Amino acid sequence: MKWLKITYNVLTVSLACVILLFCASLAFPVTRGFYFLSIGGQLCYNGFNDIGSSISHYGIEGELSDIAELQRSFSVQHTKNGNYHLAIKALEKAKELDPEVKAYYGWVLLYYYRDYERAYQILDEYDRLSPNFSDPVVGENVNYLKGLAQLKRGNAKLAIHEFTTYIDYVSATAGEEWVDVYAFINRGTAHLKLAEYTAARQDFKKAIKHYDECTEAFYLMAQSYLKEEKVDSAKQAIQKANSLMERGWKHEINYVESFHEIYPQEVERLRQKLKSRLLK
């Protein structure tokens, strides 16, 4: 009974200390800001977008507004919730505070906003911070991302140049097997746009060499064969793409559509087109 009483008293005092510390921390603008930021972020994550935005926005104002990493973190959930005005304002501020943020800013503009002009401009600014070096960006590579932006802007030749810089850099430093397979796919797509079908197929074959269940490579290869009226080869490639697609093999990202995403109805459409061509 005595020990129970002692434990109870110790617990009460500890709890009182915790409460006191919590109240004291509220007096400091920085910790208060953190609380608002965390609570607002959690509310946004759970879908209480309006109130979550207001609370987290309140947290990021004042003392915390000069911390680039916090501005960047604040932008993440708002990008994911489609609160573009809040996210971009925070990223602009973070970019001014720390130029290294340009890596993330360019990446997010490319993937989540599909703002190819601005994404290219910011990634290029970031790339120029360390010339003669192919920088990593959010687990990818700056030249690969610049290539994607150029490809989507319709500058296929410039895209090929960027993809090649990335592929050559990784091949020379780590080996070709470490190159992202989809860099070959995207460089091949750029060649396709320039009607350079043989070069395009070389890239698709390289993608298949490193990943033999790459549905996108077979699908695009079928397209390139069809452009040159090589219907038999196109049919073989599309059948392979179709069987892989039926087994669910395709590149997907949880958050956004990937840049080289293909869908079953596209594969089926090309398959039917080739079928009708063979019958003629």
Partner 1 sequence: MRTLKWIVFSFLSLLLLGVLSFYLYLYQSRWTADIDLCGWGKTFPYYVASDYYQVNFLDLKNHFISNTKSSDLNTKKDFIIRIRFLMNCNGEIGQFKVKSYDFDYREIDLSPTISKHFTDLLANYQKWTPPLLANGEAANIHAFYSFRIKQGEIIEVLPK
Position 114 contacts partner 1 (CB under 8 A): yes
Position 1 contacts partner 1 (CB under 8 A): no
- Residue 193 or 210 having the CB closest to partner 1: 193
Position 66 contacts partner 1 (CB under 8 A): no
- Is the Cβ–Cβ distance between 245 and 266 less than 8 Å? no
Contacts of residue 100, Cβ cutoff 8 Å, sequence gap at least 6: 126, 129
Position 15 contacts partner 1 (CB under 8 A): yes
- Residue 177 or 257 having the CB closest to partner 1: 257
- Residue 46 or 173 having the CB closest to partner 1: 46
- Select the span of 42-50, 65-73, 156-164, 167-175 touching partner 1 (CB under 8 A): 42-50
- Residue 82 or 131 having the CB closest to partner 1: 82
Contact pick of 115, 127, 180, 216 for partner 1 (by CB under 8 A):
115
Position 245 contacts partner 1 (CB under 8 A): no
Least distance in angstroms from the C-beta of 256 to partner 1:
4
- Is the Cβ–Cβ distance between 83 and 43 less than 8 Å? no
Position 133 contacts partner 1 (CB under 8 A): no
Position 13 contacts partner 1 (CB under 8 A): yes
Least distance in angstroms from the C-beta of 233 to partner 1:
26
Contact pick of 51, 129, 194, 195 for partner 1 (by CB under 8 A):
51
**Beta pairing partners, 137:** 140
Burial class (CB in 10 A: 0-12, 13-18, 19+), 83: buried
Buried b / exposed e across 249-274, counting CB within 10 Å, b at 16+?
ebbeeeeeeebbebeeeebeebbeeb
Distances (CA, A) of 270 to 62, 80, 196, 218: 57, 34, 20, 12
Least distance in angstroms from the C-beta of 53 to partner 1:
11
Torsion angle of the four alpha carbons 199, 201, 203, 206, in this order, in degrees rounded to the nearest 10: -140
Please give the DSSP secondary-structure letter assigned to residue 177: G
Spacing of C-alpha 265 from chain mean position: 25
Site mask, partner 1, residues 252-271, x = CB under 8 A? Answer: -xxxxx-----xxxx-----
- Is the Cβ–Cβ distance between 71 and 65 less than 8 Å? yes
Position 65 contacts partner 1 (CB under 8 A): no
Site residues (vs partner 1, CB under 8 A): 9, 12-13, 15-16, 19, 43, 45-51, 80-85, 87-89, 112-115, 253-257, 263-266
